[in-house]
Structure 1
Amino acid sequence: MEQHPRRLLTVVTESTIESHLLRDMERWGAHGYTITEARGKGARGVREGNWEANRNLRIEVVCDDVTADRIAAGLREHYYDNYAMILYTCDVDVLRREKF
């Protein structure tokens, strides 16, 4: 089984910016993504998701290193100062490199 290295970029942020964020992430090179609802506690308090303004999303993008770096730089520049957001990456191996 042949494996191909990629990066998994994960963003946890406020659901209110979803459409803007996805538009920008695609502009910065994301070919696809997976979105799930997320709850938790962090520097900005508890995010329980029990009302629209208090919902979080986890957005995952599998891509190459250059794209992950470009998206991360864009997020830091355009979103970090004004929105609750965390971002992390990890190395992953994919079996179908043509999808990523």
Structure 2
Amino acid sequence: MQADDRKLVTIITEAALERRLAEDLKRLGAHGYTISDARGEGSRGVRSAGWDASSNIRVEVVCDAAIAAKISAHLRQHYYDHYAMILFFTDVGVLRPEKF
């Protein structure tokens, strides 16, 4: 089995940003994304999925390293100072690289 290398970009942030982030990701070159509800506790306190104002989402994007770098730079510049947000990368192998 031959897999091609890609990056999995994972963003955990405030649910209120969902639509805006989806638009940004497409504009930055992501071919797609997955969004799910998330909850937990961090430096900004407990974030539950039970109330819209305090709910979080987990956004996952599989893309090449160049797009991952563009996403990272954009989020740091436009969101990090004003919203609860973390971002991390994972190296992944994909079987249909043209989709990513």
**TM-score under structure 1 length normalisation:** 0.97
For the pair 1:75 / 2:87, whether they are aligned, the reply is no
Q: Deviations over 1:32-86 (max 9, x none)?
A: 0011100000000000121110110000000000000000000000000110000
Matched position secondary structure for 2:87: strand
Matched position secondary structure for 2:46: strand
Matched position secondary structure for 1:22: helix
**TM-score under structure 2 length normalisation:** 0.97
Where structure 2 has 5 or more consecutive residues not aligned to the other structure, the ranges are none
Please report how far the alpha carbon of residue 25 of structure 1 lies from its aligned counterpart in structure 2 after TM superposition.
1.2
For the pair 1:64 / 2:64, whether they are aligned, the reply is yes
Matched position secondary structure for 1:31: coil
* Structure 1 runs of 4+ with >2 Å offset: none
Separation (CA, whole Å) in 2 of partners of 1:6 and 1:54: 32
Separation (CA, whole Å) in 2 of partners of 1:91 and 1:44: 28
Please report how far the alpha carbon of residue 22 of structure 1 lies from its aligned counterpart in structure 2 after TM superposition.
0.9
For the pair 1:50 / 2:50, whether they are aligned, the reply is yes
- 1:98 paired residue number: 98
Matched position secondary structure for 2:83: coil
